[in-house]
Structures are given as structure tokens and as C-alpha cells.
Amino acid sequence: MPTRTATTHWEGDLATGSGTVSLASSGVGSYPVSFPKRAADTADGTTSPEELIAAAHSSCFSMALSHGLTTAGNAPTSLDVTADVTLGQDDTGSAVTSIVLTVTGVVPGIDADAFTAAAEGAKAGCPISKALAGVADISVVATLA
């Protein structure tokens, strides 16, 4: 299996410094990061590790859910997934404290209970969920459209 790479160049201290994270493997872009914006309520044009985790988790979960549904005989027409990753505090300082995966799906031939069960299975089986298990509380809200 391949290895994917991102790089970050940082200048200065945590409180006043800033950096740029680059998605090196895909080459799709470089994005500014700073701790004050990371800890603020609005991103104001910068990304954060939590947003990057959210992107990774929402895309991984959507792939896992699509695969699980298709394997069970109910290929989805569409899945819209949002991952909300919360930066909070634990005993050691700043920490990712929760992740909420919200999915709305159009899936012919399936009922709401089966869709919720498939979503829970995808949450458990997605590699990003596995990497974050025990680190943050991960929950799923699944709705059929």
C-alpha cells in the first residue's frame, strides 16, 4: 500500500508564528496554518490540523460506507458526509476531543435502520477511524434522503 506525505514549514513561536502545510503526494496545494487561528472560532483563511483530520475522516468514511453498502447489495446513489472535529482540552492540554460524522445518503432498497447499521460499521472499519479510536469520541449521525 502507498505512503502519502504532507509537509509543514513553520516559522516563529507558537503564539505568533505561522506556517504552511503542503499536500506533497498529490501536489494539490499549500495552505497557511497558525495556532491563534486554529484556536479561534473562525478560520479566517487558514486551515488547521483538525480541519485536515476532518477532510481525511469524511473522505475515508464515505469510501468505507460506499463499499459496505455495495458489498451488502445496496450501492449508494450518493453520500454526503460532514466530519466535525473539535479541538478541546484534556488532562495534558489541547486535544481532539470529539469527531461527529454526519452522513446523508441516497441508497435504493435500504431502510433507515440498515443504513444506520452500515454507517456504524463504516465508522468502525474506516482506517482513519481506526487510527483515531481511543483518541477522540467518534459518533455517527446517519440519515437517508
Q: Mind listing the pLDDT tens digit for each residue in 99-139?
A: 999 999 999 999 999 999 999 999 999 999 999 998 899 99
The whole-number pLDDT of residue 139 equals 96
Distance CA 51, CA 53 (A): 5
**Do 92 and 118 sit in the same domain of this protein?**
yes
**Do 70 and 43 sit in the same domain of this protein?**
no
Domain count, the chain: 2
**Do 102 and 71 sit in the same domain of this protein?**
yes
Distance CA 43, CA 39 (A): 9
**Do 74 and 130 sit in the same domain of this protein?**
yes
pLDDT lower than 70: segments of the chain: none
**Do 126 and 63 sit in the same domain of this protein?**
yes
**Do 109 and 140 sit in the same domain of this protein?**
yes
Report pTM: 0.93
**Do 63 and 83 sit in the same domain of this protein?**
yes
**CATH code at 108?**
3.30.300.20
CA distances (Å), origin 74, targets 5, 62, 78, 118 = 34, 14, 11, 10
**Do 4 and 60 sit in the same domain of this protein?**
no
The whole-number pLDDT of residue 53 equals 97
Average pLDDT taken over every residue of the chain: 95
**Do 35 and 105 sit in the same domain of this protein?**
no
Distance CA 38, CA 12 (A): 16
Intra-chain end-to-end CA distance of the chain, in Å: 34
Nearest to 127 by CA among 69, 72, 61, 67: 61
The whole-number pLDDT of residue 23 equals 96
> Domain span at residue 106?
49-144
**Do 92 and 108 sit in the same domain of this protein?**
yes
Q: DSSP string covering 59-86, please?
A: HHHHHHHHHHHHHTT---SEEEEEEEEE
Distance CA 125, CA 120 (A): 9
